[in-house]
């Protein structure tokens, strides 16, 4: 299982790496691209984390 984490908070998950990668890329584009944000470059941190990484992370909020 792979989790999509934005600015330290879980926003989604996927059972397949490829789906998680596509979803994370779409979220990154929506949040950080100047084309969609009135010319302003976003600063959101979008990550993909495995289940084990989520369990070991101290600074990530997991949504159940």
Among residues of the chain, what percentage have pLDDT more than 70? 100
Position 63 in a domain: no
For 31-59, give the DSSP string.
HH-GGGTTTPPP---EEEEEHHHHHH-SS
* Number of independent structural domains in the chain: 1
What range defines the domain where residue 38 resides?
A: 2-56
Position 16 in a domain: yes
12-16, 17-21, 54-58: least confident range:
54-58
| Selection from 56, 63, 22 nearest residue 48 by Cα | 22
Position 23 in a domain: yes
Separation between Cα atoms, residue 10 and residue 63, nearest integer Å:
6
pTM comes to: 0.85
């Amino acid at each position: 299982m792979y989790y999509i984490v934005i600015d330290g908070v879980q926003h989604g998950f996927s059972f397949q790496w490829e789906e998680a990668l596509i979803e994370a890329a779409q979220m990154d584009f929506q949040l950080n691209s100047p084309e969609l944000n009135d010319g302003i470059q976003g600063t959101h941190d979008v990550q993909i984390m495995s289940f084990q990484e989520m369990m070991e992370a101290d600074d990530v909020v997991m949504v159940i």
